Amino acid sequence: MKNKFTPGPWHINGVGQNDYRIGICSDNEDVAEVVCVDVCKESRKEKSNARLIAAAPDLLAACEQALRLPCFQTDFMTDDELHVADLLLAVIRKARA
């Protein structure tokens, strides 16, 4: 059974009224909010976290699409290809857990 995610794309909606929250939204609804440590001005770390969260649907789709590449559709993968396939599967499982 697939998880019901808020459909992407997601984007950063901006900083909240008190300048300490960064909103992440889809076209239809709020997805997440990053709370800034410095209430006077959001830090680079929180902005980076918000950008990473906003990219999550695209990153998941890229992982799923990468596993469909011909190099991953064979029984004769190299050690490097096996390692990458394992990483991709682990990321997908983590996102869908």
β-bridge partners, 78: none
Rg, C-alpha atoms of the chain = 17
What's the pLDDT tens digit per position in 54-71? 999 999 999 999 999 999
What's the pLDDT tens digit per position in 17-68? 555 678 888 887 888 888 776 655 557 778 888 889 999 999 999 999 999 9
Q: Is the pTM of this model over 0.85?
A: no
Amino acid at 39: V
Q: Is the peptide bond before 9 cis (omega within 30 degrees of 0)?
A: yes
What are the Cα distances from residue 90, in Å, to 19, 78, 97?
36, 18, 10
